[in-house]
Amino acid sequence: MSRIGLLGGTFDPPHWGHLWLAELARVELELDKVLFLPVGNPVHKQRRVITAVPHRLHMVSLAIQDNPHFVLDTTDCNRSAPHTTVTLLPLLRQAYPNADFWLLIGGDSLRDLPTWVEPTRLIQQCRLAVLMRPGAEIDWQDLETAVPGIETAVDLLDGPTLSISATAIRRWVQNGFEPTYLLPTAVAKYIQQNHLYAG
Q: Where on the chain is the footprint of ligand ATP (CB under 6 A)?
A: 9-12, 17-18, 21, 105-106, 108-109, 131, 133, 162, 164-167
- Between the CA atoms of 135, 27, 104 and 178, what dihedral angle is there, to the nearest 10 degrees? 60
Contact (Cβ atoms closer than 8 angstroms) between residue 63 and residue 39: no
Nearer to ligand ATP by Cβ, of 33 and 133: the residue is 133
Contact (Cβ atoms closer than 8 angstroms) between residue 40 and residue 83: yes
CB of 196 to ligand ATP, least distance (A): 13
Nearer to ligand ATP by Cβ, of 65 and 163: the residue is 163
Nearer to ligand ATP by Cβ, of 97 and 196: the residue is 196
CB of 78 to ligand ATP, least distance (A): 18
Measured distance CA(31)–CA(51) in Å, rounded? 30
Alpha helices in 38-165 (DSSP H): 53-64, 85-95, 107-111, 119-122, 140-146, 150-153
Q: Which residues contact 61 (CB under 8 A, 6 or more apart)?
A: 72
Nearer to ligand ATP by Cβ, of 10 and 61: the residue is 10
CB of 131 to ligand ATP, least distance (A): 4
Neighbouring CB atoms inside 10 A of 183's CB total 24
CB of 66 to ligand ATP, least distance (A): 19
Nearer to ligand ATP by Cβ, of 94 and 173: the residue is 173
Nearer to ligand ATP by Cβ, of 46 and 98: the residue is 46
CB of 75 to ligand ATP, least distance (A): 16
Contact (Cβ atoms closer than 8 angstroms) between residue 154 and residue 110: yes
Neighbouring CB atoms inside 10 A of 122's CB total 22
CB of 98 to ligand ATP, least distance (A): 25
DSSP letter for 114, please. G
